[in-house]
Structure 1
Amino acid sequence: MDTVMFGYLQTTFAILQFLGGPLFGRFGDLFGGRAALLLAYLSAGLAHVLMGLSTNVSMLFLSRVPSIFMHGMQAAQMVVTDLSAESERAGALGKLGLSYSVGIIIGSSAGGLLISTFGESFAAYVAAAGSVLNTIVVLKYIPARTKPVALTKENKSETASSWNIFSMKEIFRLLSIPGAAGILTIKTIAGLPMGVFQSMFSVVAMDHFKLEAKYNGYLMAYIGVLQMVMQGLVVGWLTLQIAERTLFLWSILVICLVGLATALMTNVIHFCLICIPMSLGISVFYLTTNSILTKIVPPADTGAILGLNTCVHSLIRSVAPTIGGFLYELYGFSSFGYLQFVVNLLVCIYIFVNNGN
C-alpha cells in the first residue's frame, strides 16, 4: 500500500469508530458493562484474525469492519464509571488510563519484536489470542451487573426510554440534557488543535527538530511516561483538592498557554520542558470532561454519553491529519502552537462570559 491508500485505511477505521461509538454505548447501557467488554474484545479478536489472514488490500479493508464495535477503552470506562463513587471518578478514570498506557508501551514493544522475528501475520494472531484471553478475564472477574442500582427494564425505561440500540431519539435526548451538548462541543473545539499537533508530531520531530528515528522513539516514550504519571497520580490528587469544573477551566487555560509556548520554542529541549504542563493540561482536560459527562446524565445512560464522547475523539482523528498537513506545508511548525493558543483562548473567554451570565 502507498501512503495515500494507507490514509484511506486509517480514515475508514476512524469513520467506523465514529459510527460505532454511540451504538456501542447504548449496547452497554442496555446489556451491561461486562457484555460491552465482551463485545469489544470479541470484535478486536475478529479484526486481528482477519488482519492476519489478509493477502490483499481488499481483505485488509475488510479486517477493519469489526472495529465498529472495537471499543475496549470505552467499555472499561463504562465499568469504572459504574463502580466508582462520583467524588473519585476522575481519579479512577485516570488510573484506567495509566493501565492502558502501560499496556500500549508493552504491546508496542512486543509487537515490534514479534513482527521482526515471525512476521506481521503472526503478530496479528497473537493479538487475537490476547483478545480471547481478555474475554476469559472479563467473564471471571467483572460482575454481570455493574450499575450501582439494579435497574429493571421497567424503571430503566424512565431514563432510557427506548430499548432500540439504533434509536436516534435516545441520542437527541442525551444531547438535550443541560450541559451535555456544551461539554461535548467544547471538547471538540478545544481538542481539535491538540489532535492536529499530535497527528503531525512524528513528522515535526524528524523534519523540524531533525531527530533520528531512534531519538524520536525516546521522545515518544518520555511523553508517554509523563502522561502515565499525570493520569495515574496527579489528576486523582487534584480532583480531591479542587472542584472538577474549576479544573476543567484551568486545564483549557494551561493548554492555551502551552500553545503559545509551543509556537515560540526553538529546540527540542524547550519542547521537553513544555511537555510537562502540556501533559498535565491534556490529562486534566480529558479526564474531567469524561467525569463531568458521566455525572450530567442519569446512571442508566453513562454508556451512551461515553459513546458520544468517543465520537468526538474519532471525529478529531478523522480531520486532524488533513488540517495538520495543510498548516505545516503552508505556515510551518509554529502554526500548530498559534492555532492551539487562539482556539483555546476563545474557548476560555466563552466559558468566562457564559458563567458570568
Structure 2
Amino acid sequence: MSRKGETTVETPGAGQQPERTKVIYIVYIIAALDITWMFLQFSVTPYLAKKLGFDTLWFGYLQTMVGITQLLGGPMFGRFADLFGARAALSLACSATVVFFLLLAIADHPAMLFIHKIPTVFMHVLPASQMVVADLSEPEKRADALSKLGLCFGVGMIAGSTLGGQLSMRYGETFTACFAAVGSAFSLLLVLKFIPKTTKAQAPRTNAESENKSKSVFNVGEITRLMKFPGVTPTFAVKIVAGLPSGIFQVMFSIIALEFFKLQPEENGYLMAYFGVVQMVIQGGVIGRLTARYSESSLLLLSIGVSSLVGLAQAYMQNVFHLCVIVVPMMFSLSMFNVITDSMLTKSVPSSDTGTMLGLCASVQSLLRTVGPTAGGFLYVNYGISSIGLIQFVVNVAVFVYLLQRRLKKTDAQKK
C-alpha cells in the first residue's frame, strides 16, 4: 500500500525476470527487422534519385536533410518515450517507418524524395529498443544486453542488403518500397502485441512532485538538465569528440569505395556483407565477455586506443585487402565505444530519463551524419584519404591521454 499523498506506478511486464527476458528478445527481433528495412531502402533511394535527375550534390542535400531531421527529433523522441512509455514510442517509430516507405513507393518527382524523408523525425526504433533493453536489464549486464542490439544490426545489414538487391532487380523500386512498408507494419503488430505499456520500474513519488514534473515533450530544459548529473557532460563530450573522426570515415565510405578502391556495386555488396559478419561476431561473442570481466572505464580507454591505431592504419592503406584487415579492429573499437558510452550515460541518470538520454545519444550519430559529408568531402578532395585517418589518430590519442589522466587522478584521490 502507498502512503497518503503518494502515487504508485505499475510497470506491466517489468516484474518477473522471465517476462523481462521475453520482452528483450522481442525487442531484438523488432530491431533486426527495422535495420533490415532500412538497408533494403538503400537499394531503392540512390537508383530512384538517379532516375529523377538527382546529381551527387542534390543527393548529398537529401542525406543532410535526414541528418538534420533526426538530430532535432532524437531528444524529443527520447523524452516522448520517457513520458508515454515503451509501447507508445515504438508504435510511433514503426508507424513513421510505414509512412516513410509508402511515400517512397509513390515518389515520382524530385520534391517527393524530400517529402518522404520527413517521417524520419520519428523514426527512432533503435534508440527506443535501447531504452527498453536498458530499463529491463540488470545494471551490471546492461552493456552486454545493449551489445546484442549491435548483433541485430549486423543481421539486418546482411539481410536488408541482400533482400533489397534481389527485390529491386526482379520487381523494381516501387515493389521493394511497398514490401518494406508491409514489413514495418508487421513490426508495429509485434510492438502492440508484446511490448508492455511501460518498462520503467518507477519509485513512488508525491503528488506535488508529479505535478511539478513537466509533461511537455518539447521542454528543452528537461532535456538539457540531464547534462548536470555527475559524469554526464565529460562522457558526452568524449562521445562527440572521439566519435567524429570515425564518423567522417563511415559517411565517406561509399565515395571511398567508388573512387579510391574502384569497387563495382556487386563487390561493394560483398564488402558490406563482410562488415556485417564481422560486426555480428564482435557484438555477439566478444563484447559481452569483455564487459563481464573488465570495468567500463577500462574498456572505454581500450576502444579509443584501438580507434587511434585504426586511424593510423587507414592513413596508409592502399588496397581492399588492407581495408578488410583494418575492418576487424575498426568494428571492434566502434562497437565497444558506442556500447560503453551508451551504458555509462544511461547509468548516470535516473531510470525515468533513460529514453531522453538515449535520444541525445542518437542525436550524436545524426550530428555526425550532418557534419560528416561536408567535413569529409573537404578533407578527401583537398588532402586525400590519408588526412581522414591521420585526424582520427591525433584526436583519439588526445582523448586517450585525457581519459588516462582523469583515471590516474581519480585513483590517487581514492588512495589518499
State TM-score, norm by structure 2.
Answer: 0.82
Pairing of 1:161-172 with structure 2 (within 5 A): 161-172=213-224
Q: Does 1:23 align with 2:76?
A: yes
Change (3 A) 1:266 1:111: closer
For 1:200, what is the secondary structure of its paired residue?
Answer: helix
Deviations 1:15-59 (A, max 9, x none): 110010001000100111111110100011111111212221222
Number of the residue aligned with 1:14: 67
Pairing of 1:11-160 with structure 2 (within 5 A): 11-149=64-202, 154=207, 157=210
CA distance in 2, matches of 1:328, 1:217: 23
Shift in Å, 1:223: 1.6
Shift in Å, 1:94: 1.1
Number of equivalent positions = 356
Do the aligned residues in 2 keep the contact of 1:34 with 1:79 (CA within 8 Å)? no
Bigger drift between 54-63 and 288-297 goes to 54-63
Q: Could you say what the CA RMSD is over the residues aligned between the two structures, in angstroms?
A: 1.8
Q: Which amino acid aligns with 1:121?
A: T
Pairing of 1:148-297 with structure 2 (within 5 A): 148-149=201-202, 154=207, 157=210, 161-297=213-349
Do the aligned residues in 1 keep the contact of 2:60 with 2:373 (CA within 8 Å)? no
Shift in Å, 1:337: 1.2
Q: Which amino acid aligns with 1:318?
A: T
Change (3 A) 1:153 1:15: farther
Deviations 1:126-181 (A, max 9, x none): 111111111111111112221134667949749x9311110011112111112112
Do the aligned residues in 1 keep the contact of 2:380 with 2:387 (CA within 8 Å)? yes
CA distance in 2, matches of 1:244, 1:154: 37
Number of the residue aligned with 2:388: 336
CA distance in 1, matches of 2:285, 2:207: 40
Q: Which amino acid aligns with 2:165?
A: G
Shift in Å, 1:60: 1.9
For 2:338, what is the secondary structure of its paired residue?
Answer: helix
Change (3 A) 1:63 1:189: same
In the alignment, structure 2 segments of 5+ residues that lack a partner are 1-53, 410-416
State TM-score, norm by structure 1.
Answer: 0.95
CA distance in 2, matches of 1:254, 1:95: 21
For 2:360, what is the secondary structure of its paired residue?
Answer: helix
Q: Which amino acid aligns with 1:108?
A: S
Identify which of 377, 388, 395 aligns with 1:325.
Answer: 377
Percent of aligned pairs with the same amino acid: 50
Number of the residue aligned with 1:316: 368
CA distance in 1, matches of 2:100, 2:177: 9
Number of the residue aligned with 1:302: 354
In the alignment, structure 1 segments of 5+ residues that lack a partner are none
CA distance in 2, matches of 1:201, 1:6: 15
